[in-house]
Structure 1
Amino acid sequence: MNNGIVELDLHGMNSFQAKTFIDSRLKSAKKDIYRLRLIHGYHGGTSLKQMILKTYRNNPKVIRIEIGLNQGTTDLVLRELF
């Protein structure tokens, strides 16, 4: 964890494993966590990225999804940091 950002490395996981891992971290996220940074990579395809966008765009705990400047990361924003 780094200042309210939790990084989850999804390399080597299939979509089911990644979703299960992300769901467990979303469920256990405390109030000091405002962003989950999902590191999925992009050289091996975009299936994890597409699963993240489709699955979490309507999740009540996620206020928005941000695609990182690095193509291999996607952020789930849980709270605004003011």
Structure 2
Amino acid sequence: MTIYNSTVLRSGGDSVSGIIEIDVHGKDVETAIREIKKHLNNAGTGTYRIRIIHGYHGGTRIRDGIWDEFSYGREPKVKRITMGENQGITELILREF
């Protein structure tokens, strides 16, 4: 798994300016959700967005799992969930920047 923190967190959870970026390519849905929750729980007050890179094809299962797990107020830290720059990215918005 690769994590980036923007402060982007890059590959392994590095930080870069308020964004944590997590690459969960090749993970199963349960493992990906566990990793995302771990970083969500550890996100500091400077983090306003978690960018999840799940990919286009096999990543659609992960994408659907993310939307099921974090949308509709299921996680108090997540204010909203949105598609990223392309279909292979989903973003959890923790606070507006």
Distance 2:59 2:21 in 1: 20
CA RMSD of aligned residues (A): 1.0
Q: Is the 8 A contact 2:59 2:88 kept in 1?
A: no
- Gap change, CA 1:37 and 1:43, over 3 Å in 2: same
Distance 2:59 2:33 in 1: 17
Work out the percentage of aligned pairs sharing the same amino acid: 44
Letter in 2 for 1:37: R
Query: 1:47 corresponds to which residue?
Result: 61
Query: 1:79 corresponds to which residue?
Result: 95
Gaps of 5+ in 2: 7-16
Query: 1:19 corresponds to which residue?
Result: 33
Provide the aligned length of Structure 1 versus Structure 2: 81
Gaps of 5+ in 1: none
TM-score normalised by length of structure 1: 0.93
Written as runs of structure 1 = structure 2, the 5 A alignment for 1:57-72 is 57=71, 58-72=74-88
Query: 1:35 corresponds to which residue?
Result: 49
Which structure: greater strand fraction? Answer: 2
Q: Which runs of 4+ in 1 moved over 4 A?
A: none
Distance 1:52 1:61 in 2: 14
Could you tell me how far 1:44 is from its partner in structure 2?
2.2
TM-score normalised by length of structure 2: 0.79
